[in-house]
Chains A and B, each alone.
Chain A
Amino acid sequence: KAGVTQTPRYLIKTRGQQVTLSCSPISGHRSVSWYQQTPGQGLQFLFEYFSETQRNKGNFPGRFSGRQFSNSRSEMNVSTLELGDSALYLCASSFGGGMNSPLHFGNGTRLTVT
């Protein structure tokens, strides 16, 4: 069974640009969550999607947005990039997103903003 797939693995962008990251969940999983990992702030929850609807959102500015498609694949977009957005972005999928659905993480996208 294929795991969670994130593309691309690495990205280098310039301040002010925007970026789109992609996540394909495990087959049959309908919930996709996104996390940001930085050395200073650790692992922080961005948002969660289920059946194309955002059900939960963390404390990030509106520059961070996402969406989910009918096949459960998800994309995350960051607009007007700032240096502080440099991070490892992790996507996780689960069957339902609730407490009985363990999260399975992808390998992440390493974003560097210069």
Chain B
Amino acid sequence: ELKVEQNPLFLSMQEGKNYTIYCNYSTTSDRLYWYRQDPGKSLESLFVLLSNGAVKQEGRLMASLDTKARLSTLHITAAVHDLSATYFCAVFAGGTSYGKLTFGQGTILTVHP
């Protein structure tokens, strides 16, 4: 069974600082997604990583994928308050796993002034 683990689960950052969220998964996959969720809201797609070595950047967020290590990272550069949210990584197991993403536990990010 595919397992996805994120760390840390809670992250309190000061504005202007850098940090990385890690996402490990247990079986082979070459489709990894990062989502953002604000309190009481739905999931907003941030990145889709499709192959080994994939790197995508949007604003202060950069995501990468290492399929051999079964590891994805979400790097936050010079954090600002607006980035406060819960971040999820999710893995598609492939094959006949139609419509099924396995999610990590989520990382609750709080950015302080």
Binding site for B on A (CB under 8 A): 31-33, 42-43, 45, 47-50, 55-56, 58, 90, 92, 94, 97-99, 102-108, 110
Closest to A3 in B: B42
Binding site for A on B (CB under 8 A): 31, 33, 35, 40-45, 48, 88, 90, 92, 94, 96-106
A-B contact pairs, 26 of them (CB 8 A): A31-B98, A32-B99, A33-B98, A33-B99, A42-B103, A42-B104, A42-B106, A45-B102, A48-B99, A48-B100, A49-B99, A55-B98, A55-B99, A58-B100, A92-B99, A97-B98, A97-B99, A98-B98, A99-B94, A102-B45, A103-B33, A103-B101, A105-B44, A107-B41, A107-B42, A108-B42
Residues of B with C-beta under 8 A to A55? 96, 98-99
Residues of B with C-beta under 8 A to A48? 98-100
Q: Are B102 and A90 in contact (CB under 8 A)?
A: no
Q: Count of A-B contacts with CB under 8 A?
A: 64
Residues of B with C-beta under 8 A to A50? 98-99
Report which of B42, B96, B99, B105 forms a contact with A42, defined as CB distance below 8 A.
Answer: B105
Q: Are A90 and B88 in contact (CB under 8 A)?
A: no
